[in-house]
Amino acid sequence: MSSTAYPARPLVIYHSRSQQRITRMPVVQALLVAVIEGSKIIHTTAGELVCPAGQWLLLPAGQELTLTNQPDAHTGQYLALALAQDASWLQRFHSLYGHLLHEAAPGLPVLQPGSASQQAMQHLLAVQEGCDGPVDMALAEHAWQGLMLALLQQGQGRSILVLPAHDTRQQLQSLFSFDPAHRWTPASVAQRLAMSEATLRRRLAAESVTFSGLLTEIRLAHALALVMTGHQSMLEVALAAGYQSPSRFAAAFRRRFGLTPSALRATRGSVSGMGDKLRAAGAPG
């Protein structure tokens, strides 16, 4: 979720000890979610899509989801890995292996990973550990490529290997994601994109989005990730998301996601034996 050549962290760990229900969560980048303990439930108009422990969930970009992270009934814990598909990684993957995608099967949103996919995930986990610097991140990208190829070999993964659209919305998402706390204005963004402010607004209207709505979406998505995975205070999270008032931030967060950031943070807790569980997540069955 950055404009640098490599993402800061290929994989992010999510865990909770209470049920988490989040409404209107934007999927800015395609995600691969590996549920290790508990289950993830995606609520749709057609019903519920359930990803139980041991299975993987593929979420293409450009969606807005209502989801529930449900802890295991016996252990009382939810644990999952989330892998965001970085745009620069996708570009290089397509330049190397794009020809393999033309014949790839559509795949399923919920899947049982095969042995090769599990081994590739285990390798990516090992490479990420202690990852620091461009060489380490290049090794992480190589491990990610191995995971994507293993999924394609299994007949899965095409839905999360789609290149992001080069539209105005995507350009603004990239800008805002790089620095959500910046005081972005239509005039400054239009200048960066080498167009007039009127042209910028016209293009956004053609894509059925507004400048302020898109900025709020990216800021709150950034805040959501910090609340669920970080350890910053709520004031620090609010400032990082571009809100000078913690109370206004909490109100906006609740309107978007259905609960306050403090309530969501309270569902988290230390997961006993996390290291063993993560290693087991990549172990072939």
Residue type, position 16, single letter: S
What's the topology of domain 168-262?
Arc Repressor Mutant, subunit A (1.10.10)
- What is the pLDDT, as a whole number, of residue 284? 44
What's the topology of domain 11-162+269-281?
Jelly Rolls (2.60.120)
Enter the tokens of residue 49: 């899509």
Q: What is the pLDDT of residues 67-104, one digit of tens each?
A: 999 999 999 999 999 999 988 999 999 999 999 998 88
Q: How far apart are CA 268 and CA 17, in angstroms?
A: 6
**69 with 19: CB under 8 angstroms?**
yes
Q: Where in the chain is the domain with CATH 1.10.10.60?
A: 168-262
Q: Where in the chain is the domain with CATH 2.60.120.810?
A: 11-162+269-281
- What is the pLDDT, as a whole number, of residue 133? 82
CA 261 from centroid of its chain's CA atoms: 18
Q: What is the pLDDT of residues 180-196, one digit of tens each?
A: 999 999 999 999 999 99
- What is the pLDDT, as a whole number, of residue 115? 97
- What is the pLDDT, as a whole number, of residue 106? 86
- What is the pLDDT, as a whole number, of residue 4? 40
Q: Which residues of the chain have pLDDT under 70?
A: 1-10, 269-285
- What is the pLDDT, as a whole number, of residue 269? 67
Long-range contacts of 222-226 (CB under 8 A, 24+ apart): 222/1, 222/177, 222/180, 223/180, 223/249, 223/253, 223/261, 224/22, 224/25, 224/253, 224/257, 224/264, 225/1, 225/12
